[in-house]
Amino acid sequence: MPVRDLVEQAFRHLGKARVILQIHDSSFPATASEDIGQGTPYGTAGYELIRFVHDLGFDGVQLGPQGATSRGNPSPYDGTAFSRSFLALSFPRLRSDPEWGHLVDEEALRAATERTTRDSSPAVSDEPSGVRTRYAAAFDSQLALCERAYERYRGADGAMRDKVAAFVEENRVWLEADAMFEVLAGEYGTGDWHRWTGARDEIDRVLYCPPPELEADARRRRARLRNSHRDAIDRYALIQYLVHRQHHAWLEEARRTGLSLYADLQVGLSPRDRWRLQPLFLTDYLLGAPPSRTNRQGQPWGYPVFDPYRYHGGGLDYLRARTQKLFNEFDGVRIDHPQGIVCPWVYRSDDEDPFHAVQNGARLFSSPDRPDLARYAIARRDQLTDGVPRHADDWVRELDPEQVDRYATIMYIIMGAARDHGLDPRSVACETLSTQPYPLKRVMEEYGLGRFRVTQKMDVTNPHDVYRTDRAAPPDWVMMSNHDTPPIRAKAREWREQGTLAERVSYLADRLAAGSEREAVRRRLLSDTGELVHAMFADLLLSEAQNVSVFFADLLGMEETYNAPGTVGPQNWSLRMPSDYAQRYGADRARLRALDIPYACALALRSPLGRPSSESLRIADELHRLRDPR
């Protein structure tokens, strides 16, 4: 029986509805002849990865945000809401397209891939188990390829132009404004529109959202820019058409293979989105995260906050268009920091110390006792808990059904988009981590949504800790790590070096074995990092949670961190799968250095918590024989 079939049987027996791989676009591998220093799902290696992931037993892939980023900031969480990153466009893939392949400049493409091979900068050099993107170099190479493609497109026939024109018309609500921002950022030499200074800066800063007294001037300015920068605007539209076309082709291939694709709806907005939508935001407050168990300083994200009194003046239209586009292009959506859309934590924008500001912030809809925020309050004073910090989950202790509906205003838009596409609530995943304020809890319960439990953060000494697997409920998502934590092997090494393994190992041994076997399991986990990691994955499978997520670094046994929150540098957002990941994975899995999913399934099926039966033990035996044919 194929390995995938056995793994699927094990997942079903263990009550798992979804087991997905998490990987961002930039982390995709590339063949040597296609690598410009930045990953993309849409190249040859991206198509190969679909089959690799499917054969291992996964039924979905979770991507990160796919918006356009700036040359100086690779964070996908600061990318655009509508435009796709031009870095994702695979020119090698485009080359084989019979209709559009002639747009590829072969010499420029060869120069870009050869430059990647030669680049040996220490800041982005290959690491022990992974490789790093070469973001700035890839940005420049890709920009040059796009310019060459447009030069060739200028002589395109009417049929090609008609397709791009239809795409432009369908996406007019965002496409021209995003292109125009690119034009103006080039003219002013910066993407920070607050710093645009010159003869027309007053108009340009509000070009697509002018006050009434500037509307006529802005309309004339837009018309002049369309004429003077027609090529730049048309080039932007062409590249967006091509990368959207490649995404839909990859989506269809994933579906044919048997994988669902999940989008990432980030809570933040890019500079160009803020520029276009600025009248919809509060002027005195910014969005952040309050102090929490895992981040006691809080996080001053600096993102804008939608003004609730302007929801019906365009805010909900924007959110509706954004979520509809995501569900047109994916099979499900992960909501990044859902508290930011249900009960946002806001802080003063005029405080010179952002950490002081965020630590003294408040929840926008839960502060009837704050004169500056009372007009936005949904919760009443009598529903607050005395003697707890404002950021405590039980700061609001009760709500009426009508109040829950008001907190759910934006969630209603997202879930409505899912429903419009024939999807059930399980197609939406909420990244609720250590903090789940009561209003968010009530809204998630309304839709049957679960929280995230990142088990490397679990406090096994606290029976009430939110990350414990024995607290997981069926709608929850469980994972050993994610894109903002160290990979699980690195974390396991840290526990071992710090001498903090014993209690965690005892917890896992209790979950995996009973009676006299428990001590043998405990000794094995204490002595072998590979066994410990597989016990942790088996623990995910034994939880009541129906949804499991695996970060790509954990699958391959990498120990480098993808992103360390609160830090800035080339080490963030840059970890990639190596081009020979399949060969490395095969060798490392045999040594339990990479994740052996059949072995972990066998451990879970043999556990007393795995509802053992003659059939499940048969599956466990067959899975175990994959490691030891004897």
Question: Got the DSSP string for 25-67?
Answer: GGG----TTT-SSS--TTSHHHHHHHHHHHHHT--EEE----B
Query: How many percent of the chain have pLDDT more than 70?
Result: 97
* Ramachandran assignment for 569, one of left (phi > 0), alpha (psi -120 to 50 degrees), beta (any other): left
**CB contact at 8 A, 109 and 102:** no
Q: Which amino acid is at 405?
A: D
- Give me 61's structure tokens: 């892939």
- Give me 110's structure tokens: 């060869």
CA neighbours within 13 Å on the CB side: how many for 493?
Answer: 10
* CA 488/CA 445 separation, integer angstroms: 30
Q: Is the pLDDT of residue 442 over 90?
A: yes
* CA 86/CA 209 separation, integer angstroms: 25
| DSSP for 316-363, written as a single string | HHHHHHHHHHHHHH-SEEEESSTHHHHS-EEEETT-S-HHHHHHT-EE
pLDDT digits (tens, 9 = 90+) for 5-61: 999 999 999 999 999 999 999 999 999 889 999 999 999 999 999 999 999 999 999
Residue 536 has a CB neighbour count (10 Å cut-off) of: 24
> Where is average pLDDT lowest: 105-119, 161-175, 440-454?
105-119
pLDDT digits (tens, 9 = 90+) for 574-614: 999 999 999 999 999 999 999 999 999 999 999 999 888 99
At residue 95, the pLDDT reads 95
Q: Is the pLDDT of residue 124 over 50?
A: no
pLDDT digits (tens, 9 = 90+) for 465-506: 999 999 999 999 999 999 999 999 999 999 999 999 999 999
At residue 311, the pLDDT reads 79
* CA 92/CA 145 separation, integer angstroms: 11
**CB contact at 8 A, 206 and 214:** yes
9 or 129, which is more confident = 9
The sign one gets for the Cα dihedral 165, 167, 173, 178 is: negative
* CA 240/CA 232 separation, integer angstroms: 12
User: Chain-wide mean pLDDT for the chain?
Assistant: 94
Kindly report the CA angle at 348 between 342 and 354, in degrees rounded to 5? 105
At residue 121, the pLDDT reads 45
pLDDT digits (tens, 9 = 90+) for 68-90: 999 999 999 999 999 999 999 99
Which helix (H) or strand (E) covers residue 173, if one does? helix 172-188
Give me the count of residues in the chain.
630
Q: Is the pLDDT of residue 212 over 70?
A: yes
Alpha-helical (H) ranges within 353-500 are 354-359, 401-407, 409-420, 438-447, 488-498
The end-to-end CA distance of the chain, in Å, is: 17
At residue 21, the pLDDT reads 98
At residue 156, the pLDDT reads 86
- Give me 248's structure tokens: 């839909």
> Where is average pLDDT lowest: 92-106, 118-132, 398-412, 598-612?
118-132
User: How do beta strands 299-306 and 362-363 pair?
Assistant: unpaired
**CB contact at 8 A, 304 and 209:** no
In the chain, what's the furthest Cα-to-Cα distance?
Answer: 82
Q: Which amino acid is at 535?
A: A
| Residue 567 confidence class, pLDDT cut points 50, 70, 90 | confident
* CA 240/CA 168 separation, integer angstroms: 9
At residue 2, the pLDDT reads 84
* CA 112/CA 30 separation, integer angstroms: 13
* CA 611/CA 157 separation, integer angstroms: 64
* CA 268/CA 76 separation, integer angstroms: 10
pLDDT digits (tens, 9 = 90+) for 303-343: 999 999 987 778 899 999 999 999 999 999 999 999 999 99
Dihedral Cα 310, 312, 318, 322, nearest 10 deg:
120
| Residue 628 confidence class, pLDDT cut points 50, 70, 90 | low
Calculate helix-pair angle for 230-257, 172-188, nearest 10 degrees.
130
Which whole number is the average pLDDT over 351-377? 97
Query: How many percent of the chain have pLDDT more than 90?
Result: 89
pLDDT digits (tens, 9 = 90+) for 170-208: 999 999 999 999 999 999 999 999 999 988 999 999 999
- Give me 183's structure tokens: 């034009």
Alpha-helical (H) ranges within 483-580 are 488-498, 501-512, 517-527, 529-542, 552-556
pLDDT digits (tens, 9 = 90+) for 260-270: 999 999 999 99
Q: What are the distances in angstroms from CA 358 to CA 90, 355, 407, 485, 541?
A: 41, 5, 21, 22, 37
Q: Is the pLDDT of residue 147 over 50?
A: yes
Alpha-helical (H) ranges within 77-171 are 91-95, 106-118, 135-153, 158-170
Q: Which amino acid is at 51?
A: R
| Residue 130 confidence class, pLDDT cut points 50, 70, 90 | low
- How would you class 571 by CB atoms within 10 Å of its CB: exposed for 0-12, middle for 13-18, buried for 19 or more? middle
pTM: 0.95
Which whole number is the average pLDDT over 397-418? 97
Residue that the structure tokens 């609720």 belong to? 432
* CA 143/CA 584 separation, integer angstroms: 32
3-state secondary structure of 19: strand
3-state secondary structure of 281: strand
* CA 440/CA 603 separation, integer angstroms: 35
At residue 4, the pLDDT reads 92
| Residue 629 confidence class, pLDDT cut points 50, 70, 90 | low
* CA 475/CA 487 separation, integer angstroms: 24
| Residue 129 confidence class, pLDDT cut points 50, 70, 90 | low
User: How do beta strands 345-348 and 60-62 pair?
Assistant: unpaired
- How would you class 123 by CB atoms within 10 Å of its CB: exposed for 0-12, middle for 13-18, buried for 19 or more? exposed
Q: Is the pLDDT of residue 143 over 50?
A: yes
Which whole number is the average pLDDT over 156-180? 95
